[in-house]
Amino acid sequence: MTSSPASGAVRTGKPARTAPAAHPFVRYAVRRVITSILLVIGVTLVTFVLTNLVPGDPVAAALGQRAAEDPTIVAHFRAEYGLDKPLVLQYFTYLGNLVHGNLGVSTTTHNPVASDLAKALPATLEIAIGAIVLSVIIGVVLGTVAAYRRGKVSDHVLRVVSLAGLSVPTFWLALVLYYVFYFKLHIAPGSGRLSSDFNTPHTVTGLYTIDALLAGQLDTFFDALSHLFLPVLVLTLYTVGLLTRFVRTAVLEILDQDYVRAARAKGLPTRTVVWSYVLRGASIPVLTVVGLAFGSLLSGTVLVESIFSWPGIGSYAYQAASHLDLPGVMGVGLLIGVMYLLVNLIVDLLYGILDPRVRIA
Amino acid sequence: MVYRSAKTRIAIGSAVVALALVVTGCSSGKTTGSNSAAKTITIDKAFDLKTADPGRMYEPTGELVDKALYETLLTFKGGDVSKVVPGLATLTQSADAKTFTLTLTGTHKFSDGSAITADDVVFSLDRVIGVKGNPSFLLDGVTVTKQDAKTVVLTTKTATPALPAILANPALGILNSKVVKAHGGTTTDKDAAEKYLNTHSAGSGPYILSSLNLASQVVLTANKNYDGSDKPTYTRVVIQNVEGPTQKINVQGGSADVALDLSGTQATGLSGSVNVTSDPSANVIFLLLNQNPKISKITSNPSFVKAVKEAIDYSDLVSIAGKGTSQAPGVVPSMFLGALGASDALKTDATAAKADLAKSGYKGQSVTLNFPSDITLNGIEFPTIAQRIQSQLKAVGITINLAPAPVATELDAYRNGTENIGLWYWGPDYPDPSDYLVFTPGNVVGLRAGWSATADAGISSLAAAATVGGTDTERAAQFEALQKALNTSGPFIPLLQPGNNIAAKSTVTGVVYNSVWTIDIAALGKK
């Protein structure tokens, strides 16, 4: 997450017209963006190679048992999806198409992969954003409390709770919570993003809650919101466990710092010490974990999506992988890679904002 | 602090204004008013949906959807797939099963109100052949000719007694040719109508397509111009993609009216406000032992094959499979013409198995059993069955090495005939015993078991006799004889015919399992 040393001044021996030096943060941001673009190209290569190394024939997986025996149909299928071309040519064709935003056509859905992902991503984003926001709020509070009450009963309880959140398998938790909250207590709706007697709101963002509000459909908004409850809860319980532990550790390290002791000695109110000194100091490692956790939420919700019939990226990835849908698998791999890079880029840029030493290093 | 307060006030004010705008302009996102809301039915199905285009569709979810959207020339009544009945047309068939004359009844209309003509029939069937999609093989070798405005003749070079049953498949649903052509439809592989047919339907079925999302749900609404006998009770149908465990909770909790993919274990114990319909599915799980000595010397040994058949404890396998599952007496499922009775099924005999094993010269070497590790068929998990077979064979002294792999990768080895022992299943392409001729020497599944065309002259001659056809009684006798011979000397071991369990709220009527399209949605009623 650090960058290379900034270039020094140009020594030409004579006065030269010099462009006004860019702000250190801008230089830092540009470097991070360029690195990210190079990494994206690397991701395409890795995704392509790995996908094509998988044993098995996509034709066998995509066509029915009889159709796969018919040479005419098989030849037509290979030609339609470009599988009859050499691998290297396939890669460069893929890269060329990628520049135009074309991720190929899914052999499973017969739709452009980009269009499939555009439909699936908002579904995942809706639960991932909800989960990360709640997790950060709860995790920071619990982690800070645990650190401040180090060694006391409340600290031990919080550590056990966070460990439980990390240890319980999410698919099991999802099934249990669904059974309890939906079937037994009737306080959560059934699976899916909307109840079956609601029409899907007109797509603007793909986030049903936002689209329902934009369409002025309050009943749809509340229905969509209620469907978010359980998936977000399950993902939050896991992520809170992770964040609580990291925040506790980070805060404990900061609490021993001289500047925090000095702040306390000056008699500053605890609230000021916590917000302005401790949490700001702990923010860098916490931010790293938040970034990783968000990336993980975007890419690793397969089982939760399966239990709650949530048509997001996880479900799409599973479907593509189980059908050896190479364009679909590559599309998901690339999307997840790009999302991780994007999240890391944002985290890096936030480092620069939070800690000036990073941007001038 | 003053600045922060001002910001807060601005934020609160903006939120109030936004909320006020939303509330004043708000409308309902619900589909129906309270009176007609009762006419929506929600069906949970684990999707394998790829398209709603009949010319390209060949998956169970697609069959379910297209059965509701399109009518076929011939059809089946309820769950009885052994007898074809008229659909859009009546059938006259030549004695040699090579000429099939279909005469439109003239009583049905497309959903746009236009009449169904012979041109629509010719276009629809030619399109299935021409687009080279998954269902194209259904009409292999079939020539479609218009005789007059109401009559179409289908001819084949060889006897095709299965054709009437094939014509009942929703993949051969009749399309409104004018509409489809207007949206890129052709009878060649240049056809571009799939996109349109995934957003609209162009048929004469009891429902029309309202929306389709391959990953989440399909919404159908009643076709006002439908003229068929089973007018739908429900005006709106929501088929949603839900996995088995969640389906059970949904139907118990009331958010789904029908759950189509419950395993035997999940179906057990459901009662009260939920009814369960358990029927044998048309799938058959079987073992194959490779007869190619180059692949495996031991599995190609007839005495070894016999020993394995005798060593398997079939009732034990049935017991772990759960509700509705039975032993498969032959490769043809029980609801099809020519199926064997339970008394003809293979029987366990450990003593005989040990004797045959000794005769085979087996020296205790490890034999590999390949199977798809990620297949769950009607709730039966293949790894569980494979492990049980391994322990059963160990009891008579056969060492089995389990080799699981994801189906997408294992399919290659299966189709290339390189597995020593394979655990697979066969789902019917159409409900006729001739679909099972693939299990004979030199045919598709026979070759996967390394069984060449000249490997067993006796079985080949029985298969040749069954291909010719005849009356239903004659055909039934031919296929029974063929399967008995397969059980005696073939390389296949029919294991299980899994149960199909459908759970529905007790207020839902008309839930009848059909092995081709699972259920006829239009036949569902309300108490």
Look at residue A359 in the predicted model and tell me its pLDDT.
59
User: Could you give the dihedral angle defined by the CA atoms of residues A352, A356, A359 and B3, in that order, rounded to the nearest 10 degrees?
Assistant: 50
pLDDT digits (tens, 9 = 90+) for B174-198: 999 999 999 999 999 999 999 999 9
Searching chain B, which residue's CA lies closest to the CA of residue A108? B50
Running DSSP on this structure, what letter comes out for residue B344?
Answer: G
Question: What pLDDT is stored for residue A196 in this prediction?
Answer: 87
Task: Say whether residue B23 is in contact with chain A using an 8 A CB cutoff.
Answer: yes
Give the 3-state secondary structure of B250-261.
Answer: HHHHCCCCEEEE
Contact A215 B32 (CB under 8 A): no
pLDDT of residue A326: 85
Nearest by CB to A309, which of B29, B242, B444?
B242
d(CA A164, CA A158): 10
Q: Cβ separation of B408 and A198 shorter than 8 Å?
A: no
Contact residues for A134 (Cβ-Cβ < 8 A; gap 6+) = A232, A236, A240
Question: Across the interface, which of B216, B374, B407 has its CB nearest the CB of A311?
Answer: B216
* Subunit contact A219:B216, Cβ cutoff 8 A: no
Closest in B29, B51, B426 to A201, CB measured: B29
B408 reaches A (C-beta below 8 A):
yes
Q: Does A110 touch chain B (CB under 8 A)?
A: yes
- Residue B112 reports pLDDT greater than 90: yes
Q: Which of B299, B318, B285, B257 is nearest to B527 (CA)?
A: B257
Q: Is A71 on the interface with B (CB under 8 A)?
A: no
Stretch B98-114: mean pLDDT: 95
How confident is the model over A338-355, as a mean pLDDT? 81
A209 and chain B in contact, CB less than 8 A = no
What's the rounded Cα separation, in Å, for the pair A242 and A163?
A: 8
Please determine, for residue B470, whether its predicted confidence score (pLDDT) is greater than 90.
no
Once rounded to an integer, what is the mean pLDDT over residues A117-133? 93
Q: Do B29 and A199 touch (CB under 8 A)?
A: yes
Instruction: Give the rounded distance of the alpha carbon of A144 from its chain centre.
Output: 25
| pLDDT of amino acid B15 | 59
ipTM of predicted assembly, 2 dp? 0.76
* HEC letters along chain A: CCCCCCCCCCCCCCCCCCCCCCCHHHHHHHHHHHHHHHHHHHHHHHHHHHHHHCCCCHHHHHCCCCHHHCHHHHHHHHHHCCCCCCHHHHHHHHHHHHHCCCCCECCCCCCEHHHHHHHHHHHHHHHHHHHHHHHHHHHHHHHHHHHHCCCCHHHHHHHHHHHHHHHCCHHHHHHHHHHHHHHHCCCCCCCCCCCCCECCCCCCCCCHHHHHHHCCCHHHHHHHHHHHHHHHHHHHHHHHHHHHHHHHHHHHHHHCCHHHHHHHHCCCCHHHHHHHHHHHHHHHHHHHHHHHHHHHHHHCCHHHHHHCCCCCHHHHHHHHHHCCCHHHHHHHHHHHHHHHHHHHHHHHHHHHHHCHHHHHC
Interface of A with B in 239-278 (CB under 8 A): none
Question: What percent of chain B stands above pLDDT 70?
Answer: 94
pLDDT at A7 (0 to 100): 40
Residues of B in contact with A231 (CB under 8 A): none
* CA-based nearest residue to B503, from B327, B313, B344, B265: B265
Instruction: Summarize pLDDT for B278-311 with one digit per residue, the tens.
Output: 999 999 999 999 999 999 999 999 999 999 999 9
Q: Residue B40's closest chain A neighbor by CA?
A: A197
Which A-chain residues 284-343 have CB contacts (< 8 A) with chain B? 306-309, 311, 315-316, 319, 321-324
Asked which of A58-62, A253-257, B220-224, B255-259 is least confident by mean pLDDT, the reply is: A58-62
- Chain A residue numbers with beta carbons less than 8 Å from the beta carbon of B31 are 197-199
Sign of the alpha-carbon torsion through B508, B510, B515, B520: negative
pLDDT category, B1, cuts 50, 70, 90? very low
Residue A101 is predicted with a pLDDT of 83
Considering only CB atoms, B249 lies closest to which of A178, A306, A316, namely A178
pLDDT interval class at B127 (50, 70, 90): very high
Residue in chain A closest to B137 (alpha carbons) equals: A67
Confidence of residue B12 (pLDDT cuts 50, 70, 90): low
Put simply, the answer to whether B29 touches A213 (Cβ < 8 Å) is no
Question: Which residues in chain B have their CB less than 8 angstroms from residue A175's CB?
Answer: 245-246
Lowest-confidence segment of A235-244, A321-330, B63-72, B211-220 by average pLDDT: A321-330
Q: Using CA coordinates, name the residue in chain A closest to B25.
A: A216
Top residue of A108, A116, A191 to mutate, by most chain B CBs within 10 Å, is A191
Sign of the CA dihedral running B227, B231, B234, B240: negative
Chain B residue with CA closest to A303: the answer is B243
Closest-CA distance of chain B to residue A276, Å: 16
**What's the pLDDT score for residue B38?**
47
Question: Rounded distance, CA A90 to CA A92, Å?
Answer: 6
Residue A306, pLDDT above cutoff 50 = yes
Strand, helix or coil at B196? helix
Interface probe for A, chosen from B42, B47, B241, B416 (most Cβ of A below 10 Å), is B241
Sheet holding B284-289, edge to edge: B326-327, B492-497, B284-289, B421-426, B366-372, B399-405
Using a CB-CB cut-off of 8 Å, the residues of chain B touching A177 are none
Is B243 within 8 Å of A307 when comparing Cβ atoms?
A: yes
Q: Is the pLDDT of residue A3 over 70?
A: no
Residues of B with CB below 8 A from A212's CB?
A: 29
Check: CB of residue B379 under 8 Å from CB of residue B322.
yes
pLDDT in tens, A53-105: 777 777 776 777 777 777 888 888 888 788 888 888 888 888 888 888 888 88
Question: Which residues have CB under 8 Å from A92's CB, separation 6+?
Answer: none
Category of A206 on φ-ψ map: left (φ > 0), alpha (ψ -120 to 50) or beta:
left
Yes or no, beta carbons of A179 and B249 under 8 Å apart: yes
| Residues of chain B contacting A70 with CB distance shorter than 8 Å | 136-137, 140
Q: How far is A167 from chain B (nearest CA, A)?
A: 22
Query: Cβ contact (<8 Å) for B411 and A175?
Result: no
Write out the two tokens for B72.
């076929």
Give the whole-angstrom CA distance, residue B230 versus residue B458: 47
Residue B496, strand partner residues: B285, B327
Cβ contact, residue pair A191, B242, below 8 Å: yes
Distance in angstroms (rounded) separating the CA atoms of residues A194 and B452: 54
Tell me, rounded to whole angstroms, the distance of Cα A299 from its chain centroid: 6
| A210 inside 8 A of chain B by CB | no
Measured between beta carbons, which residues in chain A are less than 8 angstroms from residue B406? 56, 322
Nearest to A213 among B22, B51, B411 (CB): B22
Interchain contact, B40 vs A54, CB within 8 Å: no
- Token pair 């916490």 is found at A286
Give the confidence band of B375 by pLDDT, cuts at 50, 70, 90. confident
Closest CA to A240 of A311, A145, A152: A145
Backbone angles phi, psi at A317, to 5 degrees: -60, -45
A-interface mutation test, from B1, B4, B30, most A Cβ less than 10 A away: B30
Strand partners, B370: B403, B422
Residue in B28, B40, B245 closest to A217 by CB: B28
Overall average pLDDT of the A143-167 stretch: 88
Which residues in chain B (167-186) have CB-CB distances under 8 A to chain A? none
CB-CB under 8 Å, A60 with B412? yes
Which of B31, B216, B243 is facing A199, going by the closest CB pair? B31
Chain B residues in contact with A120 (beta carbon < 8 A): 215
pTM metric for this prediction? 0.83
Best B40, B197, B246 residue to mutate vs chain A (most A CBs within 10 Å): B246
Span B417-423, average pLDDT = 96
Given pLDDT bands bounded at 50, 70 and 90, which one contains residue B491?
A: very high
- Please tell me if residue B413 touches chain A, with a CB cutoff of 8 Å: no
Query: What integer pLDDT is reported at residue A281 of this predicted model?
Result: 81
Q: What pLDDT score was predicted for residue A338?
A: 86
The minimal CB distance from A56 to the residues B42, B56, B412 is found for B412
| pLDDT tens digits, B225-266 | 998 777 899 999 999 999 888 999 999 999 999 999 998 888
Pairing label, strands B366-372, B399-405 = parallel
**Is residue B61 less than 8 Å (CB to CB) from chain A?**
no
Which of B22, B194, B409 minimises the CB distance to A216? B22
Tokens read off for B161: 């007694």
- Tell me what the mean pLDDT of segment A294-314 comes to: 86
Predicted confidence (pLDDT) per residue in B301-360, tens digit:
999 999 999 999 999 999 988 788 999 999 999 999 999 999 999 999 999 999 999 999
Mean pLDDT of all residues belonging to chain B: 91
Cβ distance B408 to A323 less than 8 Å, yes or no, reads yes
pLDDT score for B35: 44
Residues in chain B closer than 8 A to A118 (CB atoms): none
Q: Please report, as a single letter, which amino acid is at residue B81.
A: V
